[in-house]
Amino acid sequence: MDESAFIPVRDFEIFRFVFRDEPSGISHDHAAGSRPQAVLSLRHLGDMKFDPEHGNPAREAFLRGLGVDPSNVAGIHLHHTQHVAYIESLSDLDATLVNNPEGFDGIITGNPAVVPTVTVADCMPVWIYCRHCGAFGVLHSGWKGTGILKQAVVMLQERRGCTSNDLAVILGPSIGACCYEVDQARAAYFMDRFSSSSVRVTAGAQGARYHLDLLAANLHIARTLGLSHMQIAHQCTACTPRYGSFRREGAGSFTRMLAACGNFPGLADQDGA
């Protein structure tokens, strides 16, 4: 990852959208103002579970620290699908969820006042931004949801007329192939859909062992879509204690991290943005 696009802070990480065809420090966004930024909370801040019924004080405190009113935040219960909601307001999200009971695993908006969010704990957060129309959002890409990036890009092309060159994408930290062992059936599924590079095969005492590479799978998708403005986080969440990890921490105690995309006034005090 371009080091200028990745800023570690004590409680979270900031990722910037970068376009390779722009001179350093020059942007050609659709309108004046700063680009949205991508933020990921770290494990020690606590579990960021989306719980609209009971609330989540840790989540709300984190958002307020970013200068965001939680009432402007779009959150969803995750379903491990490849479905993406496009909204212009939080009421749009409510209506969209009513009409799509199978749920969503990504949110994109054209409204700079809205902050799309998902939670992750080994699955990959994928942030996306279009400099042509200003739409932005975040996706949750686990093994079932791998392919959601394609759905988001197609949606932006059809709804907003975005081209591949208009889009910047950030592939965030996720469980790496070093730690993500799966069975042969799941490995075959990935190799069939996302090329052989998405699976690492090694010899074990009991035969072949298979490890999924979520990053390689998403890079394959990006290449087939003609996306070239990419930022990539190579850290493995299962190997790295600062991240929440379902596989490392266990099903009963894993820490969901909040992946958010938007305009964060509180970041001005953190990184000079």
Q: What pLDDT, in 10s, does the model give residues 1-47?
A: 655 565 556 899 999 999 999 876 556 665 445 799 999 999 999 99
Q: What is the DSSP string of 2-47?
A: -GGGEEE-SSEEEE----TTSPTT----SSSSPPPEEEEE-GGG--
- The helix or strand, by DSSP H or E, that contains position 74, with its residue range, turns out to be strand 73-74
Length of the chain: 273
Beta bridge partners of 181: 211
| Whether pLDDT at 272 is above 80 | no
pLDDT confidence of residue 265: 92
| Whether pLDDT at 127 is above 90 | yes
Cβ neighbours around 99 below 10 Å, total: 7
Collapsed DSSP state (helix, strand, coil) of residue 97: helix
pLDDT confidence of residue 178: 97
pLDDT confidence of residue 2: 59
Token duo for residue 75: 């959150």
pLDDT confidence of residue 270: 58
Mean pLDDT calculated for residue range 108-130:
98
In angstroms, the CA 146 to CA 135 distance is 21
Of 3.40.710.10, 3.40.1190.20, 3.30.460.20, 3.60.140.10, the CATH number of 3-174+229-271 is 3.60.140.10
Residues 255-265: pLDDT tens digits? 999 999 999 99
Mean pLDDT calculated for residue range 78-107:
93
Mean pLDDT calculated for residue range 90-113:
92
Collapsed DSSP state (helix, strand, coil) of residue 99: helix
Give the residue, 270 or 153, on which the prediction is more confident: 153
| Whether pLDDT at 115 is above 80 | yes
In angstroms, the CA 223 to CA 265 distance is 34
| Whether pLDDT at 88 is above 80 | yes
Phi, psi of 124 (to 5 degrees): -90, 125
pLDDT confidence of residue 269: 54
| Whether pLDDT at 55 is above 70 | yes
Residues 142-152: pLDDT tens digits? 999 999 999 99
In angstroms, the CA 25 to CA 174 distance is 29
Residues 231-261: pLDDT tens digits? 999 999 999 999 999 999 999 999 999 999 9
Q: What is the CA radius of gyration of the chain?
A: 18
Mean pLDDT calculated for residue range 188-192:
97
User: For the chain, what is the mean pLDDT?
Assistant: 92
pLDDT confidence of residue 271: 45
- Distances in Å between the Cα of 7 and the Cα atoms of 12, 38, 185, 272 are 9, 10, 38, 11
Mean pLDDT calculated for residue range 200-222:
94
